[in-house]
A and B are shown apart, each in its own frame.
Chain A
Amino acid sequence: MTASSTPAMVELQGVAKRYGEVNALHRVDLSIAKGEFVTLLGPSGSGKTTLLNLIAGMITPSSGRIVIDGRDATTLPTNRRGLGMVFQNYALMPHMTVFENIAFPLEVRRLSKAEIKRKVGEALELIQLGHVANRKPRELSGGQQQRISLARCIVYNPALILMDEPLGALDKKLREQMQLEIKRLHAELGITMLYVTHDQDEALTMSDRIVLMNGGRIEQQGTPDTLYFRPETVFSAEFIGSSNLIPGTVEIGADGAYALNTALGRFAAPAPERAIKAGERAVLLVRPENMALADAATPASVAGHIEDSILLGGVVRHFVRCADGSSLIIQELNQPGRSGAHRGEAVRAAWQPQHGRLLPPAPAG
């Protein structure tokens, strides 16, 4: 984990949350380093919001310990945890001006009038919205309101800023702008951030580390690179990026080389990170961009016919229907003069065996 060198800002030790019979969160251990940008990624109901609310103190854990900035905060009331939070719907006080909104946390901390004025001015400068100080939030656009809400956090330098799908209400272009803005502020100010989203692109763009949640557990955590290139489970592979998954049975040769026997043929593959025994079920993952259309049979290729080809600007995506009825996605770079693939054309989907990755099969159900 990346957290080993710097002291932890937040540490969850065996934290779990039950509602009656329902486990909203199974025992979770998680450590967030000072200055780190960690994203909780997962589908709705995966426990990411529960985890956020536990850290914020809006709910108390059924078991386990929460340490924030070196002190035990398990039962500490929300208002004494020294956190900041940005909500999807901005949560700006409608009866206060922009200035008063940003001044509010400083007022709570009993700063002098002069100091409040200076700090709010600096925060507004930082988000380049100095000219709206005297307006009410509802006179501003969604993007501006979210920047105000960010400034309101930054202004009092909390130990950790929690962000609950902060860009969910904005349109795509604005969202991309804001992603960069948040990244910039994070880099400039070195604030620790815990970001919750269900949007994998957002997670990949922004995070130092992604914590992927599934069914109230941490499925996998690591850098965006790790999660994309070295997923450990079928869930991780499917949730981040698109993927081709070919199920089969593992075969280990005399030389220790792995291969997978599938309905589409026998494919060589690199040895998996977590040992899988010969004869066990497994899934071969090949990312669409690692597959290409080929004319001739190669060691790792599957025959099929083009079902559809779609142009996504810089890349083209082919959907290939295989003999057994399963379908594969091939993604190629778009080039001028590219020989077009026609619907129904017989093709082969080929990949380099070292780009394949063996994963344990998805749990039943």
Chain B
Amino acid sequence: MNELFGSSRVARGLVSSMAWLCYIFLVVPSLIVIPISFGNPGQIEFPPRQFSLELYRQFFTDAAWWGSTVQSLIVACLTTLATLVLAVPAAYALARSRLPGRGGLQGLFMMPMLVPVIVLGLGLYLQYSNWGLLDTTAGLVLAHVMLTTPYIMVSVMSGLQHSDVALETVASIMGASRLRIFFRVVLPQLKISIAVGALFAFLMSLDEVVVAYFLTGTDTMTLPVKMYSSIRWELTPVLAAVSTLLTVLSLMIALGIIAMQGKTEASK
């Protein structure tokens, strides 16, 4: 008995150290930019031999960097809003109605998840050049809405599965119209799934580089595209500061998502 316990403890130790190794392997390359960002402003250097905030100053004062950051935030916000307006009612309709061809419609909404992003980017590039949508914020937002819709829909539909249809029935019997039921009964119960989906969409749009690379030009360049081209053409250490800021923002949003998902479980 004792021996068994001992060996299982060894095994458990082995497993957890393996897990930690994998984890470190995954995380360290992302974290390595953090010390670099506080280091030498002249060149990329690890480990850094001096400490300064010069790279952050450069980032916030350089119009090209700051401009693409603002552009990215605008695109992410518009994308999130537009996706919510589109995907929440669509998810509700698909989950509750007995429309013919419901499965097909649902598949259609999920499709952007399956198509390789680069294919989507190329296709949109060819199509947009006919429509004059290249290098426009509207065009990029439209493309991002396509990418984020499936994620919000999945989040909302799983939220709908946890909400009791009887609540909508009883509201209807009490005289409420479909519109009132949607806003007063359905939406409040989906608050958390909608917020989770929205944060996810925001993050996806903020991070997205492939489609944006195809569709944006000098006027509409987003931060990830700017970072990508700067890696190719100049390789400035400002990149480390930008990466650090993006990582922190992503981490905060991800923590927000986790906190909210925890809240739904606690209320069950």
**A67-86 near B? 1/0 per residue, CB < 8 Å:** 00000000001111111110
B185 at the interface (CB under 8 A from A): yes
Within 8 A of B (CB), among A72-117: 77-85, 87, 89, 91, 93-96, 104-105, 108-109
Q: Are B167 and A93 in contact (CB under 8 A)?
A: yes
A25 vs B171: C-alpha distance when bound (angstroms) = 26
Q: How far is the CB of B183 from chain A (nearest CB, A)?
A: 12
B229 CB-CB contact with A under 8 Å: no
Indicate whether B130 reaches chain A with its CB closer than 8 angstroms.
no
Contact partners of A152 in chain B: CB under 8 A? 174
Cα of A79 to Cα of B191 in the assembled complex, Å: 25
**Alpha-carbon separation in the docked complex, A77 to B170 (Å):** 13
Whether the Cβ atoms of A93 and B177 lie closer than 8 Å is no
CA of A56 to CA of B173, assembled, Å: 7
Known: A104-B184, A108-B180. A91 touches B167 (CB 8 A): yes
A79 adjacent to B184 (CB under 8 Å):
no
The residue from B164, B167, B175, B189 contacting A79, defined by CB atoms under 8 A apart: B175
Contact with B along A324-348 (1 / 0, CB 8 A): 0000000000000000000000000
Q: How far is it, in angstroms, between the C-alpha of A325 and the C-alpha of B123 when the chains are bound?
A: 82
Chain B 70-89 per-residue mask, 1 if CB under 8 angstroms from chain A, else 0? 00000000000000000000
Complex alpha-carbon distance, A85 and B171, angstroms:
10
State A58–B191 Cα separation when bound (angstroms): 27
Is the C-beta of B166 less than 8 angstroms from some C-beta in chain A? yes
A94 to B168, CA, bound (A): 12
Within 8 Å of chain B (Cβ to Cβ): is A195? no
Answer whether residue A156 sits at the interface, using C-beta atoms and an 8 A cutoff. yes
Q: Chain A nearest CB: distance from B139 CB in Å?
A: 38
Q: Which of A77, A89, A104 contacts B171 (CB 8 A)?
A: A104
Q: B173 and A85: CB pair below 8 A?
A: yes
Does A87 contact B177, Cβ atoms closer than 8 Å?
no
Residues of A contacting B189 in the complex (Cβ-Cβ under 8 angstroms): 94-95
Which residues of chain B have C-beta atoms less than 8 A from A94's C-beta?
189, 267
User: When chains A and B are docked, how far (Å) is the Cα of A58 from the Cα of B96?
Assistant: 14
Instruction: State how many angstroms separate the Cβ of A142 from the closest Cβ of chain B.
Output: 15
Compute how far the CA of A87 lies from the CA of B166 in the bound complex, rounded to whole angstroms: 8
A residues contacting the other copy or chain, number (CB 8 A): 25
- The residue of chain B having its C-beta at the shortest distance from the C-beta of A162 within the complex is B173
Contacts of B166 in A (CB 8 A): 87, 89, 91
Instruction: Name the B residues within 8 Å of A89 (CB-CB).
Output: 164, 166
Contact assessment for B175 and A80 in the assembled complex, using a CB-CB cutoff below 8 Å: yes
Query: B164: which A residues are within 8 A, CB to CB?
Result: 89, 91
A35 CA / B167 CA spacing, docked (Å): 27
Chain B contacts for A84, CB-based, 8 A: 173-174
B8 within 8 A of A: no
Once the chains bind, are A78 and B173 in contact (CB under 8 Å)?
Answer: yes
Within 8 Å by CB of B169, from A58, A93, A156, lies A58
Residue of B with least CB distance to A85: B173
* B184 nearest CB across to chain A (Å): 7
Name which residue of chain A comes closest to B191, CB basis.
A95
Q: Which residue in chain B gives the minimum CB-CB distance to A78?
A: B172
Residues in B whose Cβ lies below 8 Å from that of A85: 169-170, 173
A201 to B184, CA, bound (A): 38
Q: Is the CB of B185 within 8 A of A83?
A: no
The reply to whether the CB of B44 lies closer than 8 angstroms to some CB of chain A is no
Could you mark each residue 198-238 of chain B with 1 if its beta carbon is under 8 Å from any beta carbon of chain A, else 0?
00000000000000000000000000000000000000000
The CA of A83 and the CA of B184, in the complex, are separated in Å by 19
Minimum distance in angstroms from B176 CB to a CB of chain A: 5
Contacts of A95 in B (CB 8 A): 188-189, 191
Given A93-B185, A109-B175, is A87 in contact with B180 using a C-beta cutoff of 8 Å? no
Known: A91-B164, A93-B185, A95-B189. A79 touches B169 (CB 8 A): no
Q: Contact at A156–B170, with CB atoms within 8 Å?
A: no
Residues of chain B within 8 A of A77, CB atoms compared: 172
Q: Which of B41-75 contact A (CB under 8 A)?
A: none
Instruction: With A82-B175, A91-B164 given, name 5 new contacts (CB 8 A).
Output: A56-B173, A79-B174, A85-B173, A104-B171, A105-B174
6 closest Cβ contacts across the A-B interface? A105-B174, A95-B188, A91-B170, A91-B166, A78-B172, A85-B173
A to B CB contacts below 8 Å, 14 in the list: A56-B169, A77-B172, A78-B172, A81-B173, A85-B173, A93-B185, A93-B188, A104-B171, A104-B174, A105-B176, A108-B174, A108-B180, A109-B175, A152-B174
> Interface of A with B (CB < 8 Å)?
56, 58, 77-85, 87, 89, 91, 93-96, 104-105, 108-109, 152, 156, 162
